[in-house]
Structure 1
Amino acid sequence: MNFSAYSEIWRFPAVRQAVLLGVLGKAPWFGVMVVLTLHVVGDLGQGYASAGALSAVFTVAVALASPLRGRLLDTLGLRRTLAPSLILLPLGFIAAPFLGYWALMAVMAGVGLLAIPWFVLTRQLMLAAVPHDLRRPALALDSVVTEVAFMGGPTLGIVLATTWSTGGTLTALALASVSAAAILTFINPPLVSEGRTDTAPGRGGIRSWMSGPVLTTFVATVAVSVTLAGTDLGIVAASRAMGSSTVLAVVIVVWGAGSLVGGFVFGGLPHGAVGLTPLIAGLAIFTALGALGSTPWLFAILMALAGLFCAPSIAAISERLGEIVPEASRGEAFGWQGTFNTLGSAMAPPVIGSVMDSHGWQLGLVATGAAGLALAALGWIALRLGRRGVARHRMRNA
């Protein structure tokens, strides 16, 4: 393993910018999602169903806008794409604490359409900044940064909301994320590498870069997001069954820590050392094995092992897309990846939740792992069949 690659990529200013601004932008944004629920349930006096409906509207808006936002990054560039967001998002979040439920839902729908595409941006920055042989550690580092933001942002949001106010915290966190985007816009780092050969996105739009391998990568995205969303639900259900909120905190921390370790190890591996399908299979299998966690500590250990595959799976998906999609269309491709990620995250809770309601959290985790494994197998089979079809076509025309 080549961990010196991390010191090599750190020499690039754009990498340091992506890491720093990625944390400053993503962490508050993750916090916003949690505080929004607390605000609806607390200050607005609504139920969790109403909070879930508002979150769903926001999530759908983000998913619908993500491909378009990515394409605008490809065609218009960073500054012109983010300019409307830098103007309108602060207005929406400054007004949010003073709005009733239905007005807030309408505003959050607009916010979702204009949300800063942090995940597309940081991946593009990483890929544009480093040479081809350093892409893996760069994308692994991006996944690790996202994991840190995911753990730290909601924690910060909950602390501020409980000691201050949900409305004020909502505005403060959102403005912090937008401020990071404003700094990034001012710096305006390149989203494509120097000396690229493709100068503009294909005129056919998505048809110019969509292919069998790209589609199977999107299936892999759904597999990972279904598994992670189901695991989230399983950890909460298992902790409640064990009768301890401490278990929930410990398991989430060790699960995230496992992901951090896995991400760093993956980034140090040589290209081709481990494929995407084995990583997703490992994630699914170890998630299912979490059902054997009969005690809090055993459950925490099993979830830490499952966590080892989280960040590597996400990084491997980004790595594959970066390789098979033309550079001038990467923003749109990563935008579609975000949409498929949202699709998987939305699919898992109702299905896995119903299994847990009927048969307990253990079978819910087994179902989560089985779903992820089935989707990974589906993508792998489709890719193999597609390659064989291309080979037969070439032989007939030879």
Structure 2
Amino acid sequence: MAGDHLVARPRPPAGKADVPRWRLVHAGLVLAPYRRLADVPGVLSLLLWSLLGRLYQPGVPIALTFLVADWAGSYLVAGLVTGALTAGQVVAGPLRGRAADHGSVPRLLLVTGLVYAGGLAALSWWPADWWYAAPLVAFVTGCFMPPVTQVSRAVWASIPERTAREAAYAVEATLQELLFVVAPVLAAMVVAVVSPMAAVLLCAALALVGVAGFAFAASRTELLSARASLTHRSARASGSVFRVPRLRGSLVMGFAFVASVIAIDLLIVAWARDRGTPALAGLLAAAWGAGSLVGGFVAGGLRGEPRLWLRIGAVLGGLAAISLVLPPVHPDPSPWLLAGVLVVSGLAIAPALAAMNGLVGRIAPAGRQAEVFGWFAAATTAGGALASVVTGWLLDAANPSVTAAVAASWCLVAVLLARHLTRPSREAGPDMAQYERT
């Protein structure tokens, strides 16, 4: 009847009925992988402690640089000390991973945590007259950096359900971005308010507590027991892991990808400093990290198999866009414009890292995942170290746009390798069977 549309109809009760059905369905699809991850016994505690066990890492170079520059009066000596610490991490990373595969993980974590924290404490009290021995102490300290990253990613590879496993990699890659925001700010604040020595000692304390907590959480999870069983059953697979198909290509891919990302990190700092507004560096880095956080959360809720080469390709597109909004292509870019481009380009970083870790976990032989992730960590650390040197030279010899374009070229290498490594014919190959026959 006419006017029926004016008759008041009873409203549904408050709650889900107030929300459009398509939104509920979409939210359910996005959160489903996270719910499956939460159903894995002990995984949330392990994930939390794996992040707390790495909280100190981004703050150590900052604290050490201020400390050594104070008592040595030289940034060159500070660079030698921090470089020696990084070299120790690269050299011993695969060895620590192998030890985690074939021994008691909690005991390894506690021993390395104690030695590493003790090494940082020794450096905090190091006498200035003995500056020439500080790089050696730093190198030994780096060799004992606790293998929290390798162990946690090896455990994620042991999660039986693919959806939950990919969600674990995504959550870790996403929340890891927070570490690179919180830790440097915390270290810089302690340096400014107290002293560089206090900042180094704080990093040592965070390492000791975080690693001990991770060791305790690891000892209580069934996933670690499952890994130990796999290691025992696959003991006959004792050949070099470099015989595993696609591993060498994966290491080069990780090297190139991390080099491209680190180059942009340094480029942001240089651009803000040369512009006379150094405080902008932190805001721009936060914008890039915010994009990565959002992208990582959304990617972790996707149910399909991640397409690694497309995710890295999206990062490549973002780096190309960054090169177009920097001098001399754009003579005087607005910080708002650059921040917006960084947010958009950062959306694919955490998803790409998660998919890379997932690929490495799939190709690693059973019982040797920690060793493989140790090699992958060494490759990415080396990529960041090379990017620091090359980017510094490019910023002196060229300009920001060229530097960003070079970073994009490294990312292009990662895209091509990812496309090659994830071809359907290669994904279907029985990697473990081929490995055991060598």
Indicate whether the TM-score tops 0.5.
yes
Answer yes or no: is 1:88 the counterpart of 2:88.
no
* Structure 1 residue runs without a partner (length 5+): 391-398
2:295 counterpart residue number: 262
Q: 1:280 to 1:363 in 2, by over 3 A?
A: same
Following superposition, the deviation at residue 371 of structure 1 comes to 1.8
Greater fraction helix: 1
Answer yes or no: is 1:19 the counterpart of 2:47.
yes
Percent of aligned pairs with the same residue? 26
Write the distance in 1 (CA, Å) between the matches of 2:235 and 2:320: 42
Indicate conservation of the 8 Å contact 2:109/2:148, yes or no. Answer: no
Answer yes or no: is 1:70 the counterpart of 2:97.
yes
Answer yes or no: is 1:223 the counterpart of 2:253.
no
Following superposition, the deviation at residue 200 of structure 1 comes to 4.3
Following superposition, the deviation at residue 13 of structure 1 comes to 4.5
Q: 1:379 to 1:143 in 2, by over 3 A?
A: closer
Answer yes or no: is 1:356 the counterpart of 2:356.
no
Task: Name whichever of 250-259 and 190-199 sits farther off.
Answer: 190-199
2:157 counterpart residue number: 127
Following superposition, the deviation at residue 209 of structure 1 comes to 6.5
Spell out, residue by residue over 1:135-171, the C-alpha distance to the aligned partner (whole angstroms, 9 max, x if none). 1111101112211111111111111111111112211
1:394 counterpart residue number: none
Calculate the TM-score normalised by the size of structure 1. Answer: 0.89
Q: 2:372 aligns with which of 329, 333, 342?
A: 333
Answer yes or no: is 1:147 the counterpart of 2:183.
no
Write the distance in 2 (CA, Å) between the matches of 1:134 and 1:242: 45
Indicate conservation of the 8 Å contact 1:223/1:376, yes or no. Answer: no
Indicate conservation of the 8 Å contact 1:97/1:167, yes or no. Answer: yes
Write the distance in 1 (CA, Å) between the matches of 2:200 and 2:324: 39
Following superposition, the deviation at residue 347 of structure 1 comes to 1.7
1:305 counterpart residue number: 344
* Structure exhibiting the larger radius of gyration computed from Cα positions: 2
Q: 2:135 aligns with which of 74, 96, 105?
A: 105
Aligned counterparts, 1:308-323, within 5 A: 308-323=347-362
Q: 1:291 to 1:243 in 2, by over 3 A?
A: farther
Indicate conservation of the 8 Å contact 1:127/1:193, yes or no. Answer: no
2:270 counterpart residue number: 237
Q: 2:79 aligns with which of 48, 52, 55?
A: 52
Indicate conservation of the 8 Å contact 1:283/1:309, yes or no. Answer: yes
Following superposition, the deviation at residue 61 of structure 1 comes to 0.7
Write the distance in 1 (CA, Å) between the matches of 2:354 and 2:155: 14
Indicate conservation of the 8 Å contact 1:14/1:125, yes or no. Answer: no
Indicate conservation of the 8 Å contact 2:116/2:142, yes or no. Answer: no
Count of aligned residue pairs for this structure pair: 387
Calculate the TM-score normalised by the size of structure 2. Answer: 0.81
Q: 1:4 aligns with which of 28, 32, 38?
A: 32
2:22 counterpart residue number: none
What is the one-letter code of the residue matched to 2:268? Answer: I
SS of 2:304 mapped into structure 1: coil
How large is the Cα RMSD of the aligned pairs?
A: 2.5
Following superposition, the deviation at residue 79 of structure 1 comes to 2.3
Answer yes or no: is 1:79 the counterpart of 2:106.
yes
1:279 counterpart residue number: 311
Write the distance in 1 (CA, Å) between the matches of 2:38 and 2:51: 15
SS of 1:240 mapped into structure 2: helix
Following superposition, the deviation at residue 354 of structure 1 comes to 2.1
